[in-house]
Copies of this chain bind each other. A is one copy, B any other.
Amino acid sequence: MFDEECHFNQPIRWGMVGGGRNSQIGYSHRNAAQRDGLFKLVAGAFDLNASRGRDFGINLGLDSDRCYADYKEMFAAETQHEEGIQAVSIATPNATHYEICKAALEARLHVVCEKPITFTTEEAQELKLIAEKNNCVIGVMYGYSGFPMVQQAREMVQRGDIGDVRIVNMQFAHGFHNEELELTEPALKWRVTPEVSGSTYVLGDSGTHPFNLCGFITGLKVERLSCMRQSFIKSRTPLEDNAHVMMEFSGGAVGTLWASAVNAGSMHQQKIRIVGEKASIEWWDEQPNQLRYEVQGEPARVLERGMGYLYQDAVGVSPDRIGGGHAEGYFESWANIYHCFALAFDAANRNNQEVLSSLIFPGIDAGIDGVRLCEKCVESAEKNAAWVKYK
């Protein structure tokens, strides 16, 4: 079970740049950071529109004077604050990552940054030096290595369960942008605009995710690569909406990578398959609880999250948030139900029967029906499985 009690006495004081109204990624950062009580959101520069950002922050429960117009103002003020932020998460468009990271590190803040951390490796190396000098830690939000089965995969490869790695096939190939949706979708528009997105679209936006998993799981280093990239939507040139890469790793292994936004009809289709001398493992983010483990000459095995046969020490800082067998999304389902409970309780408090009756949630009648099912099943079973009336 996840140990809620292993908290710091003092959660890390934390701020955000970007991630305001309508930002899905901002919600994800806040949700993740606050899940275990280890971060406490105390400041933010959430929006280019300072007033909207302030409202947003206040709504999240921040003090209004710690809702800032921009990151410069925030870093300047917070470094003077007795209880100023110790860390900041950056969830802004790509083009701004470098300068905000640099400013944060120079303000001696720990950083969590959306990828890409910068547009060039030179810039990224520079950030690394500043961080080292200022005793700061940089986290980059490649979010898939936190899945327990990815961690299990890493441990299996590291222990030699599959033998030396020979082949790594990577893909993150969705189909959501097979048409020119940037004409109406701002969130796509900036991604295909080089000035904001950088030198790539799908390679950076999608392809770096399974590439990160490859490094995380195998530790392999690329020696050389060949990449063909295309813009099937012509207006996206020079950025690509599809790319294929072949690569050779140090030591003789080889790899392929497919990144795409035009894989029509696909959801994520993020997969990684690692072929070793003796066995292969494969993980797919759309069925994240399972890790396929295929030993040559033996039946394929499907490893499941939460089971005792996993490498317990290696899997998760919190392997049992939810328990084996439980559905992923369970927390979200419960949260949706609790959301309804809150609306119902509030409606009852206000004696608003109209709202109350419009809400659908498992209430006392669902409770009664569950009790009755048990009663009637027992009654039938005790009569040697005879048929019994339900009411």
Contact = CB atoms under 8 A, between A and B. Distances in A.
Nearest to A149: B329
Interface stretch (A64-72, A75-83, A262-270): A262-270
For the residues of A in contact with B, the DSSP-based class is mixed
Interface string A152-168: 00000000001000110
A252 interface: yes
A340 B248 CA distance: 31
A38 B60 CA distance: 11
A232 interface: yes
Contact of A22 (B1, B29, B299, B308): B1
Given A1-B23, A299-B304, 15 more contacts: A12-B342, A31-B331, A35-B335, A117-B370, A176-B324, A200-B374, A200-B378, A203-B374, A211-B369, A212-B362, A216-B360, A227-B385, A265-B295, A299-B301, A317-B343
A335 B146 contact: yes
Interface string A11-32: 1100000000111100111111
14 contacts: A12-B345, A86-B349, A119-B371, A121-B371, A142-B362, A147-B329, A203-B374, A215-B369, A225-B376, A227-B377, A230-B254, A256-B256, A288-B328, A386-B386
A198 interface: yes
Contact of A368 (B8, B117, B331, B344): B117
- For this chain, the copies found in one complex come to 4
Contacts of A115: 367, 370
A235 interface: no
Contacts of A5: 21, 56, 59
A96 interface: no
Contacts of A316: 336
A303 B299 contact: yes
B4 A60 contact: yes
A242 B338 CA distance: 31
Contact of A387 (B56, B224, B285, B345): B224
Query: Which one of A4, A5, A364 has the highest number of Cβ atoms from chain B below 10 Å of its Cβ?
Result: A364
B390 A224 contact: yes
Contacts of A326: 268
A186 interface: no
Contacts of A243: 377, 381
Interface string A30-68: 111101111100000000000000001001110000000
A136 B348 CA distance: 7
B335 A31 contact: yes
A318 B24 CA distance: 12
Nearest to A375: B121
A374 B204 contact: yes
Given A264-B162, A297-B307, A327 B286 contact: yes
A99 interface: no
Nearest to A239: B378
Nearest to A134: B348
B212 A338 contact: no
A7 interface: yes
A211 to B, nearest CB: 5
Contacts of A203: 373-374, 377-378
B226 A388 contact: yes
A339 interface: yes
A143 B300 contact: no
